[in-house]
Structure 1
């Protein structure tokens, strides 16, 4: 039997994909992807079709390209959205994967900026406050794929080659410890180590089995070398990427998004995400206002960047920051600490050296002389039993920490309010991205592909907000005039009632019994 069927007749007018197709014109992608197409050979997938299919995957939280093609071929509204007829075969799932790797990050960023500009035109972004936060994104690699890194077999020979300024041949002096997949979870000890307990597991030969802890310094994944081992408190270790987003506080629109290596700290990623948000806002003629972040983004380098660029930020100082040294006062003119303890010898702790500790923090060291502290009656309490001098370490960015601490201390109520605004702005957005917009796991490999993944999830979230947003503006000039008149009427009414209350209060204080007098009533 023959039927005459049109997809437009089968899909209702208020369908989400029909509304989405009317909201944004994807034809600008032809110009953005022109450099990736040639004039010869077989015809490749249409760039508009590719991005529409990707959008369908993020809108429906589909992580697999194979499952995505199956979903698109089974749904009539998605076929109408990508302009494929009922009997027309969709592209292969491998074509989606290869095209995703072919396009550069700038194409995905251009699509993100296009969606953001639509949100700005609709009045959804004001730029007054940008809340920043991060989340781990699971990499497309297993912990079982980890192998140990290559190490130097002869360090002395390596030093000798460097001193002679000759080219060092890595293949002659490196030794590969492990060249195959192994069980990373446990490690067997033939000898009984110190501190063993009765609850430790043993193998068939009676050897003690202890868990083997991994580090990015010693192991890597050949499946995805850019993935990093990371862990959250109370959860198992896994290979992750770091997703960073900046969200406008007015209507929770994402103004900046990127992916980074999971072994970094939040403070190391602050500059990148703030610059992205600032650039995206400036392209839409919006000035960046305040930055709201948690204590994880606080560091000396981050505070210095914010101060140098005159960016107003509200974030608690790092947990190890000490605003005041009890019993010691910093003399900035002489750059030394003065002991102020009662009963002490009033020793001076002079500046000695700047050094970097094992965690990468550069600090200034202040130390007193042994002659000043040896005979001090408070030596044991202040210096300890084994030392005859006092040592203090300060961050080289102490003045930036103090400036932020002073700002938070002088405005405690406002700082508390900014903390609440940050948590209610960016944290629900992250939860939505991870649970409903396919950002929980990267379905590709490499830091560039992870960045594309985060950008697609972010612009999909903005698109959904854009379609649901209703601008609260008057429909006509007459309604606008009526609203203004109502505002002025309410204001004048409030002023009149306040004036009457003041007059009545004055009369009451002047004569308490005026109510009983008929002429006053």
Structure 2
């Protein structure tokens, strides 16, 4: 049965905790800003009408907020410290003689509620930032950051190793993997062969050394650096694939249409440029194709920029003046191959500067190349270059500030719980922005 929180009463000797909390205390400001009672409607379906009365849901979500806000190492430590902190007791609506919940209450709530409640908390902070005029919404900046999983590399096993398959606990691991895949189908790991028995959702990522990692993705609005969208994925998910889902989440959370998205090179894919074109969004993103051009140029070869397209004949002219004609259509890649006859390439004096292939040089052209060229040209504008430079510092600040709340290491295990941690962290960072807009509260009014 779901418990309902009662109003805080005066203590013995006419002592009330409210008189002991200063007017400008951060928790007093948070209490003014956030109505935690919203959680009753969000979680009521998880509780029955009979049985033992639970810890009130607003208290549970406040406890989790305290855990992250004060970067407490564990839930057990949080509960042990709680009786010693008058400000925490006041924030929770407790008295000095209130009974302290067992630390297991928090883990049970996470398992029962899932991540939707915490997503709603984050969304409400975004909505309040919009109402307070802290969000413009039209230009957004995005990036991702890796987070260490709460698991050791020693827990990784080879799923194709027969000796592991003979272990008694192998079937249990397979069952856990199937259960987890049902809850996170949209994220497909690149490497499913090596799996951590401790946290199967974490992915092995090689950054000099192989580590078990998650990845968090964020959208930040430039006006007050409010986080307007976020999600968590396994560490090996390509962040470029998450651009448009994050744009959609931002628009849903803020109610504002995006006109410009700013991101780094990994987001500069053909798919993202065309998706932005179709949505009427300018993509101030370095072109990923430029990276491949540099690699080709370093090998002393002509880049595709040296080949001139002729719309009238639907062909390319190479630097030596030879014609590359349309040869093959790739529907899956939405591209067309253009190529000169092998004999022509073999006899060309510029072949050493053009290709190392025996069959000659070929050029790929996207079916929507004209639209793609328009988007790429805009991405190289002076305004785009300025935004890309701004993005670097803006996103670094957002992630750097999050390290105060132990953002760079997973507190719990599993992708859903990684989502919960990120929602709580982003909600707190947004609340911090809201707190700066509050007028100082008179101590006599507070008491």
What is the TM-score with the length of structure 1 in the denominator? 0.70
Within-5 A mapping of 1:152-231:
175=162, 177=164, 216-231=191-206
The aligned length equals 398
Q: Residues 461-507 of structure 1: CA distance to partner in whole angstroms, max 9, x if unpaired?
A: 11111112258xxxxxxxxxxxxxxxxxxxxxxxxxxxxxxxxxxxx
CA contact (8 A) 1:300 1:396 kept: no
SS in 2 for 1:316: coil
2:105 to 95, 100, 110: 95
Number of the residue aligned with 1:477: none
Distance 1:70 1:37, change over 3 A: same
Within-5 A mapping of 1:164-313:
175=162, 177=164, 216-232=191-207, 235-282=208-255, 286-313=256-283
**What is the CA–CA distance in structure 2 between the aligned matches of 1:82 and 1:36, rounded to whole Å?**
22
SS in 2 for 1:229: strand
SS in 1 for 2:36: coil
Q: Residues 357-402 of structure 1: CA distance to partner in whole angstroms, max 9, x if unpaired?
A: xxxx876433222233343344444344x72532334566654542
Number of the residue aligned with 2:339: 367
Number of the residue aligned with 1:391: 362
Number of the residue aligned with 2:395: 426
**What is the CA–CA distance in structure 1 between the aligned matches of 2:30 and 2:283, rounded to whole Å?**
36
Distance 1:376 1:468, change over 3 A: closer
**What is the CA–CA distance in structure 2 between the aligned matches of 1:289 and 1:6, rounded to whole Å?**
51
Number of the residue aligned with 1:350: 326
**What is the CA–CA distance in structure 2 between the aligned matches of 1:145 and 1:218, rounded to whole Å?**
13
> What is the CA distance between 1:180 and its match in structure 2?
6.6
1:451 to 403, 419, 437: 419
> What is the CA distance between 1:60 and its match in structure 2?
0.9
Q: Give unmatched runs, 5+ long, in structure 1.
A: 152-174, 182-214, 472-521
> What is the CA distance between 1:306 and its match in structure 2?
1.2
**What is the CA–CA distance in structure 1 between the aligned matches of 2:206 and 2:367, rounded to whole Å?**
29
Distance 1:397 1:453, change over 3 A: farther
What is the TM-score with the length of structure 2 in the denominator? 0.81
SS in 2 for 1:27: helix
2:26 to 7, 16, 36: 16
Number of the residue aligned with 1:405: 376
Q: Give unmatched runs, 5+ long, in structure 2.
A: 1-11, 169-189, 295-302, 440-447
Between structure 1 and structure 2, the one with the greater Rg is 1
> What is the CA distance between 1:88 and its match in structure 2?
2.2
Q: Residues 7-56 of structure 1: CA distance to partner in whole angstroms, max 9, x if unpaired?
A: 12322232221222122221121111111111122112211001111111
CA contact (8 A) 2:141 2:263 kept: yes
CA contact (8 A) 1:349 1:390 kept: no
CA contact (8 A) 1:149 1:176 kept: no
2:318 to 316, 324, 339: 339
Q: Residues 156-210 of structure 1: CA distance to partner in whole angstroms, max 9, x if unpaired?
A: xxxxxxxxxxxxxxxxxxx5656679xxxxxxxxxxxxxxxxxxxxxxxxxxxxx
Name whichever structure is richer in helix by fraction: 2
> What is the CA distance between 1:456 and its match in structure 2?
0.9
Distance 1:395 1:74, change over 3 A: farther
SS in 2 for 1:51: helix
**What is the CA–CA distance in structure 2 between the aligned matches of 1:466 and 1:101, rounded to whole Å?**
30
- Structure of greater relative contact order (alpha carbons < 8 Å, 6+ residues apart): 2
**What is the CA–CA distance in structure 1 between the aligned matches of 2:221 and 2:372, rounded to whole Å?**
26
Number of the residue aligned with 2:43: 33
**What is the CA–CA distance in structure 2 between the aligned matches of 1:321 and 1:382, rounded to whole Å?**
15
**What is the CA–CA distance in structure 1 between the aligned matches of 2:44 and 2:257, rounded to whole Å?**
32
**What is the CA–CA distance in structure 2 between the aligned matches of 1:325 and 1:82, rounded to whole Å?**
64
CA contact (8 A) 2:158 2:193 kept: yes
2:119 to 105, 109, 121: 109
> What is the CA distance between 1:227 and its match in structure 2?
0.8
**What is the CA–CA distance in structure 2 between the aligned matches of 1:77 and 1:91, rounded to whole Å?**
17
Distance 1:304 1:11, change over 3 A: same
Number of the residue aligned with 1:469: 437
**What is the CA–CA distance in structure 1 between the aligned matches of 2:312 and 2:250, rounded to whole Å?**
39
